[in-house]
Homo-oligomer: A and B are copies of this chain.
Amino acid sequence: MSGDQSKAVIGNFFEDFTVGQEIVHATPRTVTRGDASIFIALTGSRFVLHSSDAFAKSVGFREAPLDDMLTFHFVLGKTVPDISLNAIANLGYAGCRFGVPVYAGDTLRSRSKVLGVKENSDGKTGIVYVRSTGWNQRNEMVLDYFRWVMVRKRDLSKPAPDPVVPDLPKRVEIRDLIVPKGLKLARYDAELAGSPALWEDYKAGEKIDHMDGMTFEEAEHMMATRLYQNTARVHFNQHVEKDGRFGRRIVYGGHVISLARAHSFNGLANAFRIAAINGGRHTAPSFAGDTIYAWTEILEKAEIPGRKDVGALRLRTIATKDRDCAGFPYQTVTAEGRKSYDPAVVLDLDYTVLMPRRIKAAKAKSAGKRRPRPVKKAKRGAKGRKRRR
C-alpha cells in the first residue's frame, strides 16, 4: 500500500494534549438564516426572540438573534476535530457564559486552551480539561466554557503526565452574566411571547412538566450534528457502530439539549435568553427512535445587579427518554445512600436564563407613553401593536 496518511488526521489522543497548549480550531463558520430555519425544523423551538425580527427589534435587538443553543453547537462543533474526536465520553460542561448575541452573517470561530490532563488508572485513557471560547468576526466573545472529556491513549507505552486538575467554576455567578447590550424590555409583549408568566411568578423549588414528547430519527440528529460541522464519528457511521457498544449511532448530546430547551417553552416561554450553563451531564446515551420529554426545576431566583426590568432564573432541566415527566423523574437513592439517575433520564442540565420582570416592565411601559418613542428602532413593531389591539 502506497498510502501516505500524514495528511488525513485521526484527531488528538490523550498523550497529544499538554497543559497550557492552545489550539486554533479550523473552519470558521458564517451563520445564516438558513441555519436558524434548520434549527427550527429540527427542534420546533418557539422562543419568540429567535423567531421574529419585529419582536427582537421591539426589545432592543438589531433583528432576531440566533438561538443560544445554535451558538453553543457551532462553537463546540469547531472544537470536536481537535478535542474530542477520540473521546470515549463527554464528561461535563462548566462555567459556560454566553456573550454578545449572534446574528445571521456573523462568522464564528473557536479556540481552546488545555487546562488539565489526568491519566486514568487503567493506563488506556485519560481526562482532558479544556477552556474553549468562541468569537465573532469583531473579536467579541460569544461563548466561553470549560469542558472535560475522556480520551483514548494511542500509544499505551507513553508515561502518564503529571496530573493537573483545574479548579472548575461550580456555577456562573449572577454578577458575571452578560445581559445583551441595548436590551429594553419596556415593550416586551408577553402575549406574543406565549405566556403571561414572568420572573415574579416563579419560585425556587417549583417544578414544571413541559409535557411535549418528541421522537427523533437518524436523519434528524445527523443533520443537526453535521450542521454544526461536528465530526464525532459515533453519530454518523452505522457500519462501524453496528459492532460497537450500543449497536447503533449515538445521538449528539447537544441535540438532546436543543430538544429539552425547545420543550421548555411550554412553561418557560419568557426565558428569552440562556445566559449561562452552570453544568451539564449526559447521563445516558440517546438513539434514534427515542422520545424525548423534559421537566424543569427552578433552582434559584436572582435579581440582576443594576436591572429592574430583567431577572435571572437558575434552572435544572431534566430530559428523559420514553417516559413522560409528569412524575418529575430524576435521581433515586440506593440502599447505600448513593444517588443514581433514574434510568429514563438522559440529561441533567443546570443553567441560568434571563426573564423579564413584571413590575418594572409595566412602569417602563406607561413611562414610554409619555416619552417620545425611538421611531427608527422598532417602528413596525410599534405600529403592529397599535393596530392589533
Check A192–B64 contact: CB distance below 8 A: no
Q: Is A18 part of the binding interface, using a Cβ–Cβ cutoff of 8 Å?
A: no
Q: Which residues of A1-36 are within 8 A (CB) of B?
A: 1-10, 24, 26-30, 32-36
Q: Is A76 part of the binding interface, using a Cβ–Cβ cutoff of 8 Å?
A: no
Check B218–A237 contact: CB distance below 8 A: no
Complex: A47 Cα to B48 Cα, angstroms: 31
Check A192–B24 contact: CB distance below 8 A: yes
Check A5–B48 contact: CB distance below 8 A: no
Minimum C-beta distance from A69 to chain B (A): 15
CB-CB under 8 A from A374, the residues of chain B are none
Which one of B8, B48, B214, B327 lies within 8 Å of A237 (CB-CB)? Answer: B214
CB-CB under 8 A from A53, the residues of chain B are 30, 105, 107, 137
Whether A46 contacts B26 in the complex (CB less than 8 A), given A7-B268, A105-B53, comes out as yes
Of all chain B residues, the one with the shortest Cβ separation from A64 is: B30
CB-CB under 8 A from A233, the residues of chain B are 212-213
Q: Is A41 part of the binding interface, using a Cβ–Cβ cutoff of 8 Å?
A: yes
Complex: A48 Cα to B27 Cα, angstroms: 5
Minimum C-beta distance from A377 to chain B (A): 14
Check A289–B27 contact: CB distance below 8 A: no
Minimum C-beta distance from A224 to chain B (A): 8
Minimum C-beta distance from A32 to chain B (A): 4
Check B266–A8 contact: CB distance below 8 A: yes
Check A327–B289 contact: CB distance below 8 A: no
Interface size on A, residues (CB 8 A): 106
Interface code A223-244, partner B: CB below 8 Å = 1, 0 otherwise?
Answer: 1111101010100111110000
Q: Is A333 part of the binding interface, using a Cβ–Cβ cutoff of 8 Å?
A: no
CB-CB under 8 A from A3, the residues of chain B are 206-209, 295, 326, 328
Which one of B4, B42, B236 lies within 8 Å of A206 (CB-CB)? Answer: B4
Q: Is A51 part of the binding interface, using a Cβ–Cβ cutoff of 8 Å?
A: yes
Q: Is A210 part of the binding interface, using a Cβ–Cβ cutoff of 8 Å?
A: yes
Whether A237 contacts B266 in the complex (CB less than 8 A), given A34-B37, A328-B3, comes out as no
Q: Which of A93-101, A116-124, A144-152, A378-386 contacts B (4 or more CB under 8 A)?
A: A378-386
Check B8–A28 contact: CB distance below 8 A: no
Check A51–B229 contact: CB distance below 8 A: yes
Check A26–B269 contact: CB distance below 8 A: yes
Q: Is A388 part of the binding interface, using a Cβ–Cβ cutoff of 8 Å?
A: yes
Interface code A358-389, partner B: CB below 8 Å = 1, 0 otherwise?
Answer: 00000000000000000000001101100110
Minimum C-beta distance from A54 to chain B (A): 4
Name A's B-contacting residues (CB within 8 A).
1-10, 24, 26-30, 32-38, 40-48, 51-55, 63-64, 81, 104-105, 107, 109, 111, 135, 137-139, 191-195, 197, 201-202, 205-215, 217-220, 222-227, 229, 231, 233, 236-240, 249, 266-269, 289, 291, 295, 322-324, 326-328, 380-381, 383-384, 387-388
A-B contact pairs, 18 of them (CB 8 A): A1-B207, A3-B208, A6-B197, A8-B209, A8-B266, A27-B194, A28-B51, A30-B63, A34-B34, A109-B192, A109-B388, A135-B384, A138-B380, A139-B387, A213-B237, A214-B236, A215-B218, A238-B289
- 5 cross-chain pairs, A with B, having the tightest CB-CB distances, nearest first: A34-B37, A26-B194, A239-B291, A8-B267, A34-B34
